[in-house]
Chain A
Amino acid sequence: MDSAFFPMMLSLKVSLIATFFVIIIGCTCAYVLSQKSFKGKEIIDVLLTMPLVLPPTVTGYILVVLFGSRGMIGRHLYDLTGYSIMFTWHAAVLCSFVVSLPFMVKTGRAAFESVDRNLVLASHTMGHSELATFFRIIVPLSSKGILAGAILSFARAMGEFGATLMLAGNIPGRTDTMPLAIYAHAATGEWDKAWNMVLLFTFISALFIYCAIRLTGKQKWAWK
C-alpha cells in the first residue's frame, strides 16, 4: 500500500485546494446566473457547463493551449516570472478546478434559485445590502445545496484524469494522482497495486456521493 500513499495524499491535496476555489468562484458564478439578467448570460452558462460534456482530453488540450509555457496566457506568465504550470501539481489543481466547477455552478444555481424571492426583497426593503443579504439570507437557506455541490465537485476533482495527464503529465512522486497511478500500474501489469487503489478510490468516491445525497434532503423549517 506504500505505493498508494503518495498518490492518495496528492489526490486529496489537489482536490481540496481545487474545491476551495470551486466553492468561491462557483458560488459567485451561480449567484450571478441565478439573480441577474444581462446580455451574454447564456454564453457564460454554456462556457461554464462545457467541461461537463467535453472529453477531458479536449479540456486538457484547451488548457495546454492557454496555460502551456508557450500558451496564450502561459507564455506571458513564463516571460514575466519564469514559471510554467506544465508538469507541476499546480496543473493538476487547475485541471481539477476546471472540470469540477460546473458541478458547483449547477448545484449552487439551483439552490440559490430555490430561495423564495420575497425573502431577498424583504431583506432589501429592511435596508440590507445585496452582499449582506447573500451571506445572511441566501447562503444559510441554500447551505445544503452548496455543500452538496462542493462534495460533488470534490468527488469529480478526485477522479480527474484526462486533462491532468495532458497538462501535469504522469510523473511518479510529483504529479501522479490516484487515477494516474492506477493507469500507470495497469499499463505496466501491476494488477495487485492497481486493484488496491481502485478499491480505495471507489470507496472514497461512494462515501462522498452518499454524503451529497444525504445532504440534499428537505429543510427542517418548512411550514407552508
Chain B
Amino acid sequence: MGLEVRIKTKLDGFLLDVDWSMDDELVVLFGYSGSGKSMTLKTIAGVMRQDEGYIKFNEKVLFDRNARINLAPQHRSVGYVFQDLALFPHMTVEQNILYGAKGISKKVAGKDAAEMVELFRLSDHEKKHPHEISGGQRQRVAFARALMSRPDILLLDEPFSSLDNPIRLEMRRCLTNVLKKRFQIPAIMVTHDVLEAYMLADKILIYANGKVIQSGLPREVFDNPATQEVYELVKNRALYPEYLFAR
C-alpha cells in the first residue's frame, strides 16, 4: 500500500516511464535537470496530463487509465511546494496559510492556522506580505500552506534551491522535524543537491532520461552505484567531509 506510481507519458518527444511505490517516508528524486523528476511531481499532483498507468494512494485511485479515472488536482489531496514557492503576493502570510484550508470550517481553519504559525515560527509575520519577509520565512509559509489541508501526500519541488546555505540547513531540519514528529505522510522531494539527497532521504530514486535507474536506501545507492551514470551523479559526495554522511 502507500503511494503507487506508474506513469508512462510523452511530452514534446520526452518519454517519462517510471514505476515505483513508497510508504509513509521521505523519498528523494535525484538526477540531472530534464530527467523527469519535476514532471513526476506535476503528474502526481494532476497539474500535468498523464497518458498511461495509474497513481494510487492506499485505496484511493488518483489516476487509472484503464478504469478511466482522472481526479482533478482539486480532489487529489496533495500538498505541493513549488520551486518558486508560489506564494500569493497580494495576500498576507496569514491569508496565504488560510487559503490552504479549503474544505475546513472557518473555526477549525483559524485554529489550525494558529498552530501552523506557531509550528513554523511565523508569529511576528502573520500580517506581512511575502515581499516583506525573508527567504527562509517565505519557505516556511509555503510549507505551512501546503500542510494546512492535511494532505495525503506532500510534494516538494527543489524547495531549498533559492536559499543560502545556513538557511538551507535550518530549513532541512525544520522539514524533517515537522514530517517525522507532526505529520506522518509520504513526502516526495526533488533535489539536485547530493548532500541534501543523502541527508534527508529515507529512500532515494535516481532519475535519468525519464526512467528510474537505481533506487534504495541512500547509503546503498551512494556506496554501490549500479551504473556509471549513477556514479557520476553521486561522486560529488567526495567534495564533502565524510562525517556529514554519517546517519
Contact = CB atoms under 8 A, between A and B. Distances in A.
Interface of A: 116, 118-119, 121-129, 136-137, 140-141, 219, 221-224
Contacts of A140: 90
B131 A118 contact: no
- Chain B contact-residue range equals 20 to 34
Which DSSP category, helix, strand, loop or mixed, fits chain B's interface? loop
B164 to A, nearest CB: 16
Given A118-B82, A222-B131, A128 B90 contact: no
Given A128-B102, A222-B89, A122 B131 contact: no
A223 B75 CA distance: 31
B168 interface: no
A125 B76 contact: yes
Contact of A119 (B45, B86, B102, B149): B86
B90 A221 contact: yes
Contact of B88 (A119, A125, A219): A119
Nearest to B142: A122
A127 B149 contact: yes
Contacts of B46: 125
B53 interface: no
B47 A125 contact: yes
A125 B131 contact: no
B210 interface: no
A25 B82 CA distance: 33
A132 to B, nearest CB: 8
A63 B149 CA distance: 52
A125 B84 contact: no
Interface in B88-124: 88-90, 99-100, 102-103
B57 to A, nearest CB: 14
A10 B47 CA distance: 49
B131 A223 contact: yes
A167 to B, nearest CB: 41
B131 A121 contact: no
A77 B102 CA distance: 46
Contacts of B131: 221-223
Contacts of A121: 45, 47, 73, 80, 82, 86
B145 A126 contact: yes
Nearest to B81: A122
B186 interface: no
Nearest to B138: A223
